[in-house]
Amino acid sequence: MKLAWVALTLVACASEPPPKPVAAPAPAGPRCSPEADDMPKDAKPRMASMQGAVRKCYQLGTGAGDSDVKVEVTVRESGEVRDVRVLGVAPHPSAAECLKKTLQSAKFAKFCGSDIAIRWTYALR
């Protein structure tokens, strides 16, 4: 009887190494530092500085002298004006459009946070 020797070679299938554990991302901290302004620090002086231009718009559109004009100016974090609304009794359409364009051109100081709406009443006397 002949004995045959059989050599057996095991070949393992090449597979990718097991994935390395990945550290969980650090929880997001506050986006704004505690010292950061949460609204434009120049909001009041900037709105007040627009008084003369607002008066001109109102007078050109209505011819009227004295009035109170209420507006809401929404400011982005960058300090740019996103939206302007004339509140209450709307002045003549041309005056309202001039008011919007004038206030839209205002530039405020940058701040950290969500857009902010500034309500302001211009007493035109």
Give a yes or no: residue 96 inside a domain.
yes
Give a yes or no: residue 9 inside a domain.
no
Q: Which residue has the higher pLDDT, 109 or 33?
A: 109
- The yes-or-no verdict on residue 52 having pLDDT over 90 is yes
Q: Which residue has the higher pLDDT, 110 or 89?
A: 110
Give a yes or no: residue 36 inside a domain.
no
Domain count, the chain: 1
DSSP 80: B
Tokens, residue 9: 């070679």
- The yes-or-no verdict on residue 9 having pLDDT over 70 is no
- pLDDT at 68 (0 to 100): 87
Question: Among positive and negative, which fits the CA dihedral 103, 107, 108, 112?
Answer: positive
- The yes-or-no verdict on residue 24 having pLDDT over 80 is no
Give a yes or no: residue 35 inside a domain.
no
Give a yes or no: residue 13 inside a domain.
no
- Give the domain range for residue 83: 43-124
The CATH number linked to 105 is 3.30.1150
